[in-house]
Amino acid sequence: MILNLLKDSLQTLLHTVTDDNLDSYRIRLTEYSKKIVLSGCPQLTTQFLYISALPTDLDAVFKRTIVSDVNDGCLNHYNGLVKKAKTLSFRNVRIVDLSKCPNVHFGAVILWMKWTFPELRTFIASYCLLFQFEDLQCLLLRCPWINEINLSIDTSIILSKYSIISSRSEVRRDVNRNLSSYYMQSGLYGTSGNPVFSNISKLILEGRNDITDMNLLEISMLKSSLCYINIKHCTLLTDDGISTLLLNCRKMHSMVLSYTSFGNHSIQTLCSLDPSDSFSYHKDEHAHVMAFRLQELHLEGCEGNY
């Protein structure tokens, strides 16, 4: 895929839309495209993503309205866009990578992906300080067909006196939050066994020190499908929070828990009997224990009580 570098101001972009001259403002997508990699494009904006996927038969006035909506932090005309462009989707796309794209508003991007890539399986947004846990919740609801999410942060590139939380707050200070109406409502997210979350099998949150025990409890809603989790360097998590996640998500077989507070409570959970195991007889006496089914477990640098 070829991406023309976007260095133009919003006003230039709007004039281009009005003139209906978008040839140089497109991600080159075809019906055969399977992977969209836009990582490391600091000039990439949310407006550009929407423009790149707009159908050519939409009138210029409506295109300009959509671009203005996204810039203002609202999507009042989103439903109209979906109706007018419902035939435009790229069903073969399985992977989207928006890592290191600091000028992208992920609330709007999630709606863009829902509309454009209905068969998306893997979403990568690593090194993105702007991606909040609320965005993850929205992603789970809006794109339930995704089964792998990577939101990792490289902690080595962040000075020790700064946290992801403070960095995120500084950058988002002036961001319009009108898109919050599109975020998941707690009533929809908090239902046990909700089939909408049955596909997420792999979740990577490495380095995100904005993830709390309460967030882990909400992640437990993925218990019917979650098999792999990476919470390395998630410094706000406690041993109790990690053990609760392990207790709820019994299907997990691969865990990266390095440099967390993993300790006695989590160990006891791993060594406890799995109540979901319906087989009364196993050749190995430890087969009923959760740890028996582990394929991968990383614990280096853990500082919990033992």
Rounded to whole angstroms, the Cα distance separating 170 from 185 reads 26
pLDDT at 108: 82
> What is the greatest pairwise CA distance in the chain?
73
The yes-or-no verdict on residue 271 having pLDDT over 80 is yes
Report helix, strand and coil shares of the chain as percent, to nearest 5.
35, 10, 55
Q: What is the mean pLDDT of the chain?
A: 75
Mark 116-150 as b/e (b = at least 16 C-beta within 10 Å).
bbeebebbbbbbbbbbbbebbbbbbbbbbebbbbb
pLDDT at 98: 94
Burial of 215 (0-12, 13-18, 19+ CB in 10 A): buried
What pairs with residue 273 in β-bridges? 289
Q: What is the DSSP letter of 37?
A: E
The yes-or-no verdict on residue 65 having pLDDT over 80 is no
* Tally of CA atoms within 13 A in the half-sphere of 264 that contains its CB: 2
User: How many C-beta atoms lie closer than 10 Å to residue 26's C-beta?
Assistant: 16
DSSP letter string, 48-114? HHHHHHS-TTS-HHHHHHHHHHHHHT--TTHHHHHHHTTT---TT--EEE-TT-TT--HHHHHHHHH
Average pLDDT over residues 282-305: 80
Q: Are strands 122-124 and 95-97 parallel, antiparallel or unpaired?
A: parallel
Length of the chain: 306
pLDDT at 80: 62
pLDDT at 70: 65
* Tally of CA atoms within 13 A in the half-sphere of 91 that contains its CB: 3
The yes-or-no verdict on residue 12 having pLDDT over 60 is no
Least reliable range by pLDDT among 7-16, 147-156, 166-175, 258-267: 166-175
Rounded to whole angstroms, the Cα distance separating 257 from 300 reads 8
Give SS3 for 171: helix
Query: Which comes out higher in pLDDT, residue 171 or 57?
Result: 57
If we measure between CA atoms, which residue out of 74, 73, 28, 34 comes closest to residue 52? 28
User: Of the ranges 177-181, 228-232, 283-287, which is most confident?
Assistant: 228-232
Split at pLDDT 50, 70, 90, the class of 215 is very high
The yes-or-no verdict on residue 288 having pLDDT over 80 is no
Split at pLDDT 50, 70, 90, the class of 123 is very high
Average pLDDT over residues 180-205: 58
The number of angstroms, rounded, from the C-alpha of 257 to the middle of its chain's C-alpha atoms is 19
Q: What percentage of residues in the chain have a pLDDT greater than 90? A: 35
User: Of the ranges 51-65, 89-103, 186-200, 272-286, which is most confident?
Assistant: 89-103
Segment 274-279 long-range contacts (CB within 8 Å, at least 24 positions apart): 274/250, 276/250
User: Of the ranges 23-27, 97-101, 138-142, which is most confident?
Assistant: 97-101
The yes-or-no verdict on residue 177 having pLDDT over 50 is no
Ordered domains of the chain (ranges, CATH):
10-298 (3.80.10)
CA distances from 65 to 26, 46, 69 (A): 18, 14, 6
Query: Which comes out higher in pLDDT, residue 31 or 237?
Result: 237
What pairs with residue 37 in β-bridges? 97
